Structure 1
Amino acid sequence: MTADPASQVQDFYRDRSVFCTGATGMLGLAYIVRLVLETPVGHVYAMARGGEKRMWQVCNDYLPREQVEALQKSDRITVFDGDITHTNLGLTDDQIETIRDKVSVVVHAASTVNLVKPLHEVADVIIYSSLAVADFVLSLRNLERFVYVSTAYASTFLRRDMQGNVIGSDAVIKEKVHQLRSIVETAEAELADIRECGTTPEFNFADYLYPYSYAKNLTERLLISRFEKHGQSDRLLIFRPSIIGPAEKLPCPNFEIAGSTPVTTFMAAAIMTPPLSMCFASPLEDPTTATIDEVPVDMVVNRLVVHTAYSSSGPVHAASGRDARVKSETLWLQAIAMRSWWWWRPTGAWTSKDWSAAGVCKLSRLFKVCGCDFVFDQAKSEAVWARMSQGEQETWPFWPTPADEDKNHVLGRERALRLLCDKFASRTCLPA
């Protein structure tokens, strides 16, 4: 680790204790590696189901040996066996007291990424658990920053015009809290509706891409309300990555945990899907303009580390940007080209019908976002980037390296694709 004398990042993390949930997830693991090996952080308390054994197993599976050894020798990581869905996060009283007494930064990265489970099922992991984490965080004696890892797609709900046409699939999403109604207090009413009925009028009114994204949206609003009531709204950072992809460089080139990168999962599903033709739904006037905003995990981690150090608050996007998005058709065609010769190569077509309409392929229903063209505003990252020293910009780059138009997006994903294809081959249907 090389110190930058002009680094606000180094100054912020020096001797500080950090608590991170979801430590064995792709984002959580990449974050911890960078934090321990690139900053003078005092200590990291990492929480993961399966505890220390599971943590080091994942590290050994996905990280270079020298990095694993460096992490173990640092003596700055303590792994807690916990579960966000359990009382007190599944931690012991001593562990709770240690965090409450020593930690000043909490990153809540644990979450389901299941896109098809109904709202009442994802609510347990996303909404209820996040509120429990927040209540605990608000009891910390030296709280400086609570980072809730949401998603840039939390505000990508669609609407219908008077003719029933879907609108909003090509919207520019701002770094603010988007809500269906103007009354903030409806968040608590929506929470009560989910507990009682398993759904809400707001969720049924708007055309959310997934129950997952609505759950993230509601959680954002509930957290804002709770932190405002405690006079701590300036300590809440709602961090919104777009679609997280394999790393460019760190913790190692093409770092990826199979099943954690939606684009790789989409490509694997396209390779393994039996049909000879696939029909994709899109409300866009020209579906061929549909894009995927995938951002390398190391760019996401860099922004997470820096925005926390620079005291950013409220919603902050971490996306690839307008010019770095990839056309959905490109990803599909490159995946189809990987199919074995005896497995056929299906034809593809677009339709303006609803995703649930007859004839729309299951792949389109699972990955609705591939029929959209969202642009995520990144004004806050642009502002922080302008304040960073040259040394910080070199150590913590925000922007993905521009890709050639003819880039093959399969390259670097081969290991994850093989694992996912083998997994799908053992099923009679696409991933749930």
Structure 2
Amino acid sequence: MWEFFSQKTIFVTGGTGFLGSALVLRLVSQARPKCIYLLCRGGKHRAVQKWQKILPKPMSETLISSDLITYLDGDIQEPNLALPPTSLTLLKTTTEIIIHAASSINLVDPLHKLSQSIIGATERLAHFALSCPHLHRFVYISSAFANSHLYAEASSRAAVDISVRETLYPLHPSSPSSASPSISTATICIELQSRGTTTEYESRSHDFPWPYAYAKHLSERVLLQAFNQNRDQSPNHTHDAFPNKLLIIRPSIFGPAQNFPYRGYSVPLSTPLTTIATMVSLTPSIRFHAATRAKHPDTEVTADEVPVDVVVDRTLFHLAYGSNGIVHAVCGERGRYAFKELWDDGMAVRKMPWRLRMTWLDVDWHSPRLHYIARLFVLYGMSFNFSEERTVELWDRVPEEQRQGLNIFKDCSRGFGLLDRKEDMRVCARALMSYFGYPKWIGSLL
């Protein structure tokens, strides 16, 4: 599939982060694009610093020495991307593929703080993309949890494993104060900019586990509206109209790589299950209360963690073979971890002199009765079955020789492997000690 990218001009945001670094390295190593424009605050100097920090020297040098990368010192949160007119014009007139991978992943930040870093930046980049005369695809890295409100909206209160298809689920007003379905996404975004929140979000405060999930949901709506509104601007209304140029990739919970750029590749604090396991192993608490509907949480509660290289290759795979619309980048039903496996791994590395006792409660996920870790991550007690039907169908159509070397699916034979993440856990521990004020001796327990 790599020949698809030959002589293509690709514009990437977030190219120095956990996902973006692996994606840019994959393109540089396997393909021969004409140019990769990399937007980074601080330009090449800052990009080099980040890559040298998170990648082994041979891999960082591959990126730093590549003549395929053109660095743009800009900011997706600023008008015109904070680029000078000449750079902006060159970018606009030559770009064929845009991969928007830059995003906050902070689950604590309130909605008003995320409104610019996620929603505003995405809207700004969408309008830029629609002005590019040679645009082939706009790829947005969203989140599978953009539809996490479905858990609270399940028709059966007993529903535990929530099926999520590769589509955008609308928000169903739950009270008279909810936003009317007739109110446009643009109007909701204006309200968000002026108030720092929205009526529909306030009236649904228990439906999304974090503001981050709602921000991703609204960003998808912004993109779908923007690209659909430009449908009639495509010359002769061809099959390559603007809606067909949008590809939304939804990763689940990011995990360490299974193969590329090397097995176990990770960036501290970028793999949430590692962070959760670190918090559980270090908390001085005696009891851990979490919320669930499940009657048998040990086996019914699951977590979908996808290796970062699966997200990279699945994104490029769908891009190369012309997919549009929404695609899940997930481990899938077979690859999910049961809660008991995660909990047992966490307890195996816990060195506290007392046990942490787990108790499940049938309460709201924001209940003050819950342990602070359960309130923060919320995913304790839930289970989502994210469809990956579109990837399976495409994979079955692609000839065997073109599949070689691709990481499209998670290797389900590998377990959680928390012991292999000890170095990441130590970095997490230092950050957590500072954030929560844990005594320093706790960090020595890892």
8 A Cα contact 1:63 1:252, kept in partner: no
Task: Decide which of 358, 368, 385 is 1:375's aligned counterpart.
Answer: 385
Task: Decide which of 67, 84, 96 is 1:92's aligned counterpart.
Answer: 84
Task: Decide which of 424, 428, 432 is 2:436's aligned counterpart.
Answer: 428
The TM-score, its normalising length taken from structure 2, stands at 0.88
8 A Cα contact 1:120 1:199, kept in partner: yes
1:296 aligns with 2:310: no
For 1:279, what is the secondary structure of its paired residue?
strand
8 A Cα contact 2:279 2:429, kept in partner: yes
Amino acid at match of 2:244: D
The TM-score, its normalising length taken from structure 1, stands at 0.91
8 A Cα contact 2:282 2:352, kept in partner: no
8 A Cα contact 2:160 2:294, kept in partner: yes
For 1:37-86, what per-residue CA distance to the aligned partner results, in whole angstroms no more than 9, with x for missing partners? 01122211111223212212222222232222333333111222222111
8 A Cα contact 1:158 1:167, kept in partner: no
For 2:269, what is the secondary structure of its paired residue?
coil
8 A Cα contact 2:28 2:63, kept in partner: yes
Amino acid at match of 1:421: A
1:403 aligns with 2:413: yes
Question: Where does structure 1 differ by over 6 angstroms across 4 or more consecutive aligned residues?
Answer: none
Shift of 1:201: 3.2
Distance 1:336 1:115, change over 3 A: same
For 2:254, what is the secondary structure of its paired residue?
strand
8 A Cα contact 1:268 1:420, kept in partner: yes
1:76 aligns with 2:76: no
* Separation in 2, partners of 1:241, 1:275: 32
CA RMSD for the aligned pairs? 2.2
For 1:173-230, what per-residue CA distance to the aligned partner results, in whole angstroms no more than 9, with x for missing partners? 0001111149475322322332233323322344111111111111111111111111
Shift of 1:168: 5.7
* Separation in 1, partners of 2:165, 2:186: 23
Q: Match for residue 281 of structure 1?
A: 291
Counterparts of 1:53-64 in structure 2, within 5 Å, are 53-64=45-56
Amino acid at match of 2:196: G
Distance 1:304 1:110, change over 3 A: same
Q: Match for residue 170 of structure 1?
A: 161
For 2:226, what is the secondary structure of its paired residue?
helix
Aligned residue pairs: how many? 418
Distance 1:100 1:408, change over 3 A: closer
Identity of aligned residues (%): 33
Task: Decide which of 255, 263, 278 is 2:273's aligned counterpart.
Answer: 263
For 2:209, what is the secondary structure of its paired residue?
coil
Amino acid at match of 2:431: K
Counterparts of 1:333-372 in structure 2, within 5 Å, are 333-342=344-353, 344-372=354-382
Q: Match for residue 219 of structure 1?
A: 219
Shift of 1:311: 1.5
1:254 aligns with 2:264: yes
Shift of 1:363: 0.7
Q: Match for residue 323 of structure 1?
A: 334
8 A Cα contact 1:158 1:166, kept in partner: no
Task: Decide which of 43, 52, 56 is 1:51's aligned counterpart.
Answer: 43
* Separation in 2, partners of 1:205, 1:158: 15
Amino acid at match of 1:425: M
Task: Decide which of 198, 201, 222 is 2:199's aligned counterpart.
Answer: 201
* Separation in 1, partners of 2:389, 2:287: 41
1:412 aligns with 2:403: no
Distance 1:299 1:160, change over 3 A: closer
Shift of 1:166: 5.3
For 2:12, what is the secondary structure of its paired residue?
strand
Distance 1:113 1:12, change over 3 A: same
8 A Cα contact 1:355 1:368, kept in partner: yes
Q: Match for residue 177 of structure 2?
A: none
* Separation in 2, partners of 1:81, 1:391: 40
Distance 1:278 1:229, change over 3 A: same
Amino acid at match of 1:47: L
For 1:280, what is the secondary structure of its paired residue?
strand
8 A Cα contact 2:150 2:162, kept in partner: no
* Separation in 1, partners of 2:111, 2:420: 34
For 1:224-267, what per-residue CA distance to the aligned partner results, in whole angstroms no more than 9, with x for missing partners? 11111112010000110111100011011111011111111111
Structure 1 unaligned residues grouped into runs of 5+: 1-8
